[in-house]
Amino acid sequence: MRFDITPYIDMSPAEVRQRIRKGEITFPTAGMCRGYAQANLVILPPEYAADFEEYTRRNPFPCPVLEIIRGTPETHAMGEGGDITTDIPEYFIYRNGVLSEKVNDASAFWKEGYVGFLIGCSFSFEEALMAAGIEVRHIATGRNVPMYKTGIRTVKVGPFEGPMVCSMRPMTPENARRAYEITVQCPNVHGAPVHMGDPAILGVRDIDQPEYGESVEIREGEIPVFWPCGVTPQAAIENAKPPIVITHSPGHMFITDIKNAELNDFLEARKRR
Amino acid sequence: MRFDITPYIDMSPAEVRQRIRKGEITFPTAGMCRGYAQANLVILPPEYAADFEEYTRRNPFPCPVLEIIRGTPETHAMGEGGDITTDIPEYFIYRNGVLSEKVNDASAFWKEGYVGFLIGCSFSFEEALMAAGIEVRHIATGRNVPMYKTGIRTVKVGPFEGPMVCSMRPMTPENARRAYEITVQCPNVHGAPVHMGDPAILGVRDIDQPEYGESVEIREGEIPVFWPCGVTPQAAIENAKPPIVITHSPGHMFITDIKNAELNDFLEARKRR
């Protein structure tokens, strides 16, 4: 599938969130609102929230928390006036660990005591890669990023455990080293690559069969480069099997009011408070 | 060269520091004082210290600072009563970026206003790897760890810049994934591997010719796994060419009073203060 994101490239996050809320946008958000950070979403019932919060703390690279939403589904730090139950183009509803529904509006599922987690996303560093002249293939070809369950396990907390999911971008070894230099400076938005090169070393069986997203072409002279991915918590949730979980559909993100270039410093400053 | 470190495996750090001070130990410290963290050393004249401190802050994975020593050469947080100018088995003295002397006692070189930096070292996670049943080849064979200048550049601050130096340990892909799981949990002592597999991707030309330390055998079915290395600042100093710098000789470290298992939490707690 290809989507025309052109009208949304330079639109404000508040405006795009409104259009998503109205049902105008139901496809992946990659490339929209150039410059602004996008976020993964997990909403859990109260009895699972504390363990999940600790799980994100123990696995900060795949699960960098941007904002925790309690009380009402409204966002504040990441976008005043946003709503995590309506401002994402597609939601997955899991029941007992099994995907049961895909919806474009999740407001009917929010209940008292539910806790929402907005989690950083690799889109946040792709802008910096492109600014450095590194082609990001899936954006250039209008596809969703390929994501793989790897042989690396996350740290278990309560019922939450599972593989680290990694997103993959093909590039030359030279660009891979530059990409390391750029992304290692953003530890709060996934940080440096987990692996550069042979997918088998990472425990990825078939590079053409990603577990999430869509496969992309790896050209002659290029290697796959893997980063920790914010879909990791979804894999942990599949294992934890809570009675109900609401998440974004992979690639369909919450667009925040914080610029990518400012996100790492924003989170670093908040840590020190 | 092989060294018999057996008598020092279970000795206390304070006792081993005393024996180094007396000149009894003049060889690499790998494997000594089992359980205790070891540190790299850089001592700079006052006009270079501020830029270097910022350089370590911008490059935290290769340069995790454990303690900054000002006034007298005595250590406190990392070992009450230690002395960074006498308690390391071998020192390098650089003049204008060129190695000019190797000495076993550097106390004659310390001057008013000099600033010392104790920097974390990969020995700190090797204990955890071995506890997980992963053989650390250079320890098993009584050698110094091989270290390579890579094609990844560190973030430049003032006159300090240069390649990231990585230490290398050969292991199976399965163990490499376990090693990732273990070391990613210690972001304050070098963190996760930079790379697993083909050295050429990292910009390492000849795996048998490390720039520092000694080469080790890579067996059939094993891959090289590379971590950020505390020798990185020495490479930056070679570029900055201060009139004088005192460092440890690679592999010859300052042994601290803090246990490896506690070091990451110790540094995390200090960050939050």
Interface of A with B (CB under 8 A): 58, 61, 150-153, 155, 173-174, 176-177, 180-181, 184-185, 187, 192, 194-198, 200-203, 223, 272
pLDDT band at B265 (very low <50, low <70, confident <90, very high): confident
**Lookup: tokens for A111:** 């209940």
Q: Which helix (H) or strand (E) holds A149?
A: strand A147-153
- In chain A, domain spans: 7-119+233-272, 123-232
Which pLDDT score, from 0 to 100, does residue B255 have?
96
For residue A151, the distance in angstroms to the closest alpha carbon of chain B comes to 7
For residue B196, the distance in angstroms to the closest alpha carbon of chain A comes to 6
pLDDT digits (tens, 9 = 90+) for B29-49: 988 998 899 999 999 999 999
* Cα–Cα distances in angstroms (integers) from residue B252 to residues A173, B163, B225, in the given order: 33, 21, 22
pLDDT > 60? residue B183: yes
* Cα–Cα distances in angstroms (integers) from residue B255 to residues A253, B56, B66, B88, B186, in the given order: 48, 20, 12, 8, 19
For the domain spanning B125-232, the CATH number is 3.30.2040.10
Rounded CA-CA distance B57/A243 in Å is 44
B48 phi/psi in degrees, rounded to 5 = -110, -10
Which pLDDT score, from 0 to 100, does residue A267 have?
84
Which pLDDT score, from 0 to 100, does residue B74 have?
97
Q: Do domains A7-119+233-272 and A123-232 have the same CATH topology?
A: no
Report whether CATH 3.40.1640.10 matches the domain A7-119+233-272: yes
Chain A residues within an 8 Å CB radius of B201: 173, 176-177, 196-197, 223
Rounded CA-CA distance B235/B220 in Å is 32
A61, A180, A185 member nearest B194 (Cβ): A180
pLDDT band at B2 (very low <50, low <70, confident <90, very high): low
Residue owning tokens 């150039």: A34
Residue owning tokens 């000594």: B32
* Cα–Cα distances in angstroms (integers) from residue B127 to residues A138, A189, B38, in the given order: 41, 29, 11
pLDDT digits (tens, 9 = 90+) for B154-163: 999 999 999 9
pLDDT > 70? residue B273: no
Contact state of B173 with A223 under an 8 Å Cβ cutoff: no
For residue B181, the distance in angstroms to the closest alpha carbon of chain A comes to 6
Closest CA to A59 of A128, A136, A150: A150
* Full pLDDT tens readout for chain A, 273 residues: 567 889 999 999 999 999 999 999 999 898 899 889 999 999 999 999 999 999 999 999 999 999 999 999 999 999 999 999 999 999 999 999 889 999 999 999 999 999 999 998 877 788 889 889 998 888 778 777 899 999 999 999 999 999 999 999 999 999 999 999 999 998 888 999 999 999 999 999 999 999 988 999 999 999 999 999 988 998 898 899 999 999 999 889 999 999 988 888 888 887 766
For residue B202, the distance in angstroms to the closest alpha carbon of chain A comes to 7
Q: Mean pLDDT throughout B132-151?
A: 88
Q: Which residue of B has its CA nearest to A272?
A: B272
- Contact between A260 and A36 under an 8 Å Cβ cutoff? The reply is yes
pLDDT digits (tens, 9 = 90+) for B66-113: 999 999 999 999 999 999 999 999 999 999 988 999 999 999 999 999
A58, A197, A203 member nearest B197 (Cβ): A197
pLDDT > 90? residue B264: no
Chain A residues within an 8 Å CB radius of B194: 180, 192
- Over pLDDT 70: what percentage of chain B? 99
pLDDT > 70? residue B175: yes
Q: Which residue of B has its CA nearest to A151?
A: B177
A58 phi/psi in degrees, rounded to 5 = -80, -15
Pairing of strands B91-95, B163-171: unpaired
Chain A residues within an 8 Å CB radius of B202: 177, 196
Mutate which of B56, B63, B150, B152 to disrupt the A interface (most A C-beta within 10 Å)? B152
Find how far residue B255's CA is from the centre of its chain: 11
Strand residues in B74-230 grouped as ranges (E)? 91-95, 98-103, 115-120, 147-153, 163-171, 195-196, 223-228
Question: Quick one: CATH architecture of B6-122+233-272?
Answer: 3-Layer(aba) Sandwich (3.40)
* Cα–Cα distances in angstroms (integers) from residue A8 to residues A17, A19, A145, B108, in the given order: 11, 10, 18, 66
CB atoms inside a 10 Å sphere around CB B142: 16
For residue B134, the distance in angstroms to the closest alpha carbon of chain A comes to 15
What residue type is assigned to position B159 of the chain?
P
- Contact between B128 and B136 under an 8 Å Cβ cutoff? The reply is no
| Bigger pLDDT: B54 vs A230 | B54
Which pLDDT score, from 0 to 100, does residue B180 have?
97
Contact state of B177 with A152 under an 8 Å Cβ cutoff: yes
| Bigger pLDDT: B199 vs B273 | B199
Contact state of A197 with B194 under an 8 Å Cβ cutoff: no
pLDDT band at B194 (very low <50, low <70, confident <90, very high): very high
Q: Which residue of B has its CA nearest to A200?
A: B173
| Bigger pLDDT: A250 vs B117 | B117
Radius of gyration of chain A (CA): 17
Rounded CA-CA distance B27/B17 in Å is 13
pLDDT digits (tens, 9 = 90+) for A120-139: 887 778 888 988 999 888 87
| Bigger pLDDT: A172 vs B187 | A172
pLDDT > 60? residue B1: no
Report whether CATH 3.40.50.720 matches the domain A123-232: no
